[in-house]
Amino acid sequence: MLAAMLLTAAELNSLASLVHQSPHTLLGMHPLGDGSGVVARTLITGADKVELTPTHDAAKPRFELQRLGNTDVFEGTTPAASAVYAYDLTVTDVAGHQRKFRDAYSFWPTVGETDLHLFNEGNHRQLYDVLGAHLKTLDGVKGVAFAVWAPNARRVSVIGNFNEWDGRCHAMRLLGSSGVWEIFVPDVAEGALYKFEILDAHGQLMVKTDPFGAFFELPPKQAAIVWDTQKFRWSDDAWLNARREANVLRAPMSIYEVHLGSWKKKSGWEAFGYRELAAPLIEYVSRLGFTHVEFLPVAEHAFYPSWGYQVTGFYAPTSRYGTPEDFQYLVNALHGAGIGIIVDWVPAHFPRDTWALAQFDGTALFEHADPKQGAHQDWGTLIFNFGRHEVRNFLAANALYWCERFHIDGLRVDAVASMLYLDYSRQEGEWIPNKYGGRENLEAVDFLRHFNHLIGTEHPGVMTIAEESTSWPMVSRPPWLGGLGFTLKWNMGWMHDTLGYFKRDPIHRRYHQNDLTFAMLYHYHENFVLPLSHDEVVHGKGSLRRRMPGDDWQAAANLRLLLGYQWLFPGKKLLFMGCEFGQVNEWNANAELDWWLLAAGPYHLGVQRWVSDLNAYYKSEPALWRGDYDQDGFWWVDCSDHANSVLSFVRHDRESGRHVLAVLNLTPNPHSGYRVGLPVAGRWREVLNSNAALYAGSDTGNPLGVTAEDYSVQNQRYSALFTLPPLSLTVLATV
């Protein structure tokens, strides 16, 4: 044995007090500088004796490590080797118990220079394969590589149930100036719980969860769980190939918006898991004919009443409903049934939970330091610093992650308006103008364009959908034209005006008909989705059914008329769960939908049948979707009959030459012999009538269809006399 204690007092103190930022340079095995042998060091708590033995080559020397002073640092040297070799440590504690393991400080870094460079410049597209926790086999040893970004931390340790949550056991090394800390811990397996213990920039000790955690304990617990998200066996290649070639703008799309925890429950309080949900959800969505489902955020969130919009685990499907592969099973099953899946994605903000992203290393790392830029006024949350390369990379890679690992067909981006404007919900003096003195958040704009470009190029066929509530121009136009690059945009103006109209007593509607016609003045500015979403059935607004005026018959008729108008109007469709059968109560995230209503009387079942038939006809008729955004795909026949509150319009498909006529009678007053203009001659058959007995209507209409007369009205070459039932949508198509 050579003489021990080769460390300086300062080096020993830095290890013993856990402030050395690169402990691997001192711990582990290293050749002696004079070539006389090798030295090995380790920091082991609770050890009485530490012996080093070779792992692979028995000819290599074995030797004992001695405790240095009163510390938990052990050091030993041998002249019998001139180069480092693989070794195990056998540790005996004071009670005589032994354990043998590979030394975590004997492995090279698992994060390469290229990875660090791409991350620091904001361009690492597979960042989720680098940071976080990843199962690896190094030198024949299975374990987990941990890596986390905390550039201003003084020390970072990974703690977990594999080291008794002791930050002294696995202090990580800082990789150059990247801000990334890393360590490979042998013998840690899938299912291990872990967090990061951080000595922050101010000398305070914090415990944080992993920003890249792929799976978490059930809330309110917060530990991340080591998990392999690549082991699921997908069988949706045909779906993905077809999606890649499809043009969503010229395809039918009716979206059923779902909150996973409250659609249906197994008991009074317990929600279905991802796998349990698959069969009943697929059966229901298929039976009603929706083309897509959209899930409120599925990323991990500690606060259930946030409905998922206050995300604490951006890379993890919430564990409330199962494992990541359980969620993959649900997506795979939906694809197998021909149903697309959209998830709500929340890059606008994150909660202030001290164990998550907020002040991650003791500084404003993910958020802006100035609350005028970094604090959200409405929700009490924090706003991402979109100008920081690493933060942009965190978010952009997260979007790609959901597409890559979970085969998501669309990302609906929440609260885009709050990202675009520096003065969003702020008074004068509460915001900081951009470099040109304006209110536009230039960094967020650049990020959104970058995000949309990445999705479009890396995952062609995947939609991006903006919930943007202002008149920001060209949200759904490509960046090279000056747009933001989204595929689609929610038409919040249509939603607001339409619901405002329908809640009025029909006697007053004649004065507000422009509420229904105004949307066509700007329709061709964007690729719109028509949303009747969860936001419209909460916070005292009342359910859609509750907002409809009149007695039960009139309220149900109004609701059928509203939904029919939505389905016939140009744009893709979105409807929140429960609205499809006229749930009376507001949505309650803590209870399942009021499914019992379907057996309580004819009106709710009638609305549900109406939605099913709307979807069936919608999907079968290209005139209702192929020309959604074509100038000749829609025209008003008559939008000026305010006195009778009657509207009529045509949907047209230029490829097939098909015409579909929609006539809305928006009052309880029926009209017999009402003349409506028609664009082409011949027989027109009634294909939908919201007043049919099947839907609990009074069963009047035009069951024999109409024949176009050579009589021009309303700028149409032909016309016919119609019977317009009360509070009804009548749809006719050329034979």
Low-confidence spans in the chain with pLDDT less than 50: 1-4
Peptide bond just before 703 cis, omega within 30 deg = no
Cβ contacts of 364 within 8 Å, gap of 6 or more: 374, 385
For residues 654 and 663, give the distance between their C-alpha atoms in angstroms, rounded to a whole number.
Answer: 21
- Averaged pLDDT score across all residues of the chain: 96
Quickly count: other Cβ atoms within 10 Å of residue 98's Cβ.
10
Quick one: pLDDT at residue 406? 98
How far is Cα of residue 60 from the mean position of the Cα atoms in its chain? 53
| Helix or strand holding residue 334 (H, E) | helix 324-336
Residue 414 annotated to the active site: yes
Quick one: pLDDT at residue 442? 97
CATH architecture of the domain 9-106 equals Sandwich (2.60)
Strand, coil or helix: 376: coil
Quick one: pLDDT at residue 3? 41
Under CATH, what is the fold of the domain 623-734? Immunoglobulin-like (2.60.40)
Strand, coil or helix: 141: strand
Quick one: pLDDT at residue 2? 38
Q: Is the separation of the CB atoms in 503 and 546 below 8 Å? A: no
The CA-atom distances, in angstroms, between 714 and each of 517, 639, 718 are 16, 10, 9
The catalytically annotated residue of 326, 414, 536, 638 is 414
Quick one: pLDDT at residue 5? 62
The residue among 288, 180, 203, 209 whose CA lies nearest residue 612 is 288
CATH architecture of the domain 113-225 equals Sandwich (2.60)
φ, ψ (nearest 5 deg) of residue 541 = -75, -25
Peptide bond just before 220 cis, omega within 30 deg = yes
The catalytically annotated residue of 197, 300, 467, 580 is 467
For residues 665 and 119, give the distance between their C-alpha atoms in angstroms, rounded to a whole number.
Answer: 59
Taking the domains of the chain in order of start, what are their residue ranges? 9-106, 113-225, 623-734
Q: Encoding tokens for residue 433? A: 């103008």
Q: Is the separation of the CB atoms in 160 and 194 below 8 Å? A: yes
Amino acid at 280: P
The residue among 541, 537, 519, 538 whose CA lies nearest residue 529 is 519
Quick one: pLDDT at residue 594? 96
Sheet holding 173-174, edge to edge: 132-138, 141-149, 180-186, 173-174
Identical fold, 113-225 and 623-734: yes
Residue 236 annotated to the active site: no
Q: Is the separation of the CB atoms in 296 and 333 below 8 Å? A: no
